[in-house]
Structure 1
Amino acid sequence: MLFFTYSVVGWLWETFYCSIKDHHYAYRGFLFGPYCPVYGFAVTTILVATYNVRNNLFWLFVIGMIVASIFEYFASVFLEKVFHMKLWDYSDLWGNLQGRIAPAISLFWGIGVVLLVRFIQPLIQQVINWEESWTHGFLALFITVGMVTDTVMTIFSIRHFHMTTKQWDQRINDFQEQLRHRIRTAAQPEERALRKQQLANWRESFLTHLEKRPEQLLRWNERRMIKSFPKMRVLDAKRFNQIKQDLFSNK
């Protein structure tokens, strides 16, 4: 229950913060449901790791900062290696490590852990104790089944998204090759100049020549991922990364 509760709290925090920062509603989270398991894993581990120092603010801050940063780093590696995706990038922050973690973010996590352990967790634990006295663990079982189902559905969805991005890459490459062919075979200088201009501005030309509106060629979860994670990069779909934001700005 701690894992699920903090997964929901993490989702609420990210959704609220990113919606304010990006000036539009951002449905955060990697799964379909309103929870971010990385927060659940991180917080439950932090609560265990800091249990013996929960009354020492200095060590609570230091250990919390380290554990949270380790989780963030390996979560980034996992997404990159398994799903070929990079959802956040701190490359523009000082002292970052491969763009996965950065000192400024780690300091933020440390402060967050202090607030969490000293002020939030006691209240959360009271609610969970009350819930378990009524449900005797059945709610936890129900939640587990739901999250496992969601995880399986998300894996299939992300794999489809990965295939879709590669298809976009191929579609863009074919479009550019057609323009190059027309440049080589153009009979009139005016036509050759027009095709060169279209190739130079291939993003606008490509979107103009799509038979369907861009958003109709993507599933809901794929559109959500693009909108909610503007810094997301698909590691083996270079052309898609260049055009993904244009899919919605040129409706």
Structure 2
Amino acid sequence: MPYSLSEIIVLFFTYSVIGWLWETFYCSLKDHHYAYRGFLFGPYCPVYGFAVTTILITTQPVQHNIFLLFIVGLIVASIFEYVASWFLEKFFHLKLWDYSHLKGNIQGRVAPQISFFWGIGVVLLVKFIQPVVQRVINWEESWTHGMLALIIVLVMGTDTVMTMISVKKFHTTTKQWDERAMAYRKKLEKRLKDAAPEERPTLKHHLHDWHHQFAHRLNQEGASKQLSWNHRRLLKSFPKMKVTDSKYFNDYKKGLKSK
């Protein structure tokens, strides 16, 4: 093993923070507003930490060969992206990214174009970034003797539990709204069925635009007050987020005020 346990924990945390900074910067630039990225409360993205530490360990034998480093890095990073997407969907009923529009994608979780850039990123990481990070960690280890690693485990462990509770509440709320959305749509359909001929065009328009109207109704009721800061952040920072077991939420969520 090229790293001690405490080094692995600090590496994991360091690259989780670096990943969060990169995602926040890139997405804020792309979306033209500040996007507090990351699934957990804190300023870190564990998927980057897990991926990078695994890559650093698994690529150790090939780090002298840039081509092999690119290939192994591409494969490991893609596997992590796939597993992370699957985990979020199966355990939290959330889909935070979707590559279905890209050619060669696998269930929308990974795509060749994205994996290619992961491979390039791994080469840059190993050759240019990691040597600098490792020097800092070596200095830190000589001063804290593993205490920083223990603090990281406690902080991120607590954050993970709190996030799981928060997401569970978010899921419960979306399911409740989904039931109301279903009832609202059925009511419009019944009104259309029983309506006089002159009323049908207006009701058809209402039925066609039902998701915007329902979102407006929720906003008028102060729906955002039912959501915590973290729930509103998820809606705002992940505009493509889907709740996989809510049939209607994905239709009207764009109309919800997330501020």
TM over 0.5: yes
The 1:53/1:132 distance shift into structure 2, 3 A limit, reads: same
For residue 40 of structure 1, the aligned residue among 41, 44, 49 is: 49
Deviation (angstroms), 1:21: 1.3
Alpha-carbon separation, structure 2, partners of 1:40 and 1:169: 35
Question: Residue in 1 aligned with 2:75?
Answer: 66
TM-score normalised by L of structure 1: 0.92
- Deviations for 1:32-64, whole angstroms, at most 9, x for unmatched residues? 111111111110110011112112111111111
Deviation (angstroms), 1:229: 1.3
Q: How does 1:121-136 map to 2 (within 5 A)?
A: 121-136=130-145
Q: How does 1:1-251 map to 2 (within 5 A)?
A: 1-183=10-192, 193-210=201-218, 211-248=220-257
The answer to whether the 8 Å contact 2:15/2:49 transfers is: yes
Deviation (angstroms), 1:178: 2.7
Provide structure 2 residue ranges, at least 5 long, that are not aligned to the other structure: 1-9
Alpha-carbon separation, structure 1, partners of 2:143 and 2:226: 47
Deviation (angstroms), 1:195: 3.7
The 1:190/1:214 distance shift into structure 2, 3 A limit, reads: farther
Alpha-carbon separation, structure 1, partners of 2:217 and 2:241: 25
The answer to whether the 8 Å contact 2:100/2:108 transfers is: yes
Deviation (angstroms), 1:194: 4.0
TM-score normalised by L of structure 2: 0.90
Secondary structure at 2:36's aligned position in 1?
coil
Letter in 2 for 1:137: G
The answer to whether the 8 Å contact 2:78/2:110 transfers is: yes
* Identity, % of aligned positions: 65
Letter in 1 for 2:169: H
Alpha-carbon separation, structure 2, partners of 1:108 and 1:182: 52
Letter in 2 for 1:223: R
Secondary structure at 2:40's aligned position in 1?
coil
The 1:80/1:200 distance shift into structure 2, 3 A limit, reads: same
Alpha-carbon separation, structure 2, partners of 1:190 and 1:24: 45
- Deviations for 1:185-220, whole angstroms, at most 9, x for unmatched residues? 55x665565444322221232234344234233221
Q: Count how many residue pairs are aligned between Structure 1 and Structure 2.
A: 249
Deviation (angstroms), 1:69: 0.6
The 1:19/1:192 distance shift into structure 2, 3 A limit, reads: same
Deviation (angstroms), 1:110: 0.5
The answer to whether the 8 Å contact 2:166/2:230 transfers is: yes
Secondary structure at 1:93's aligned position in 2?
coil
Provide structure 1 residue ranges, at least 5 long, that are not aligned to the other structure: none
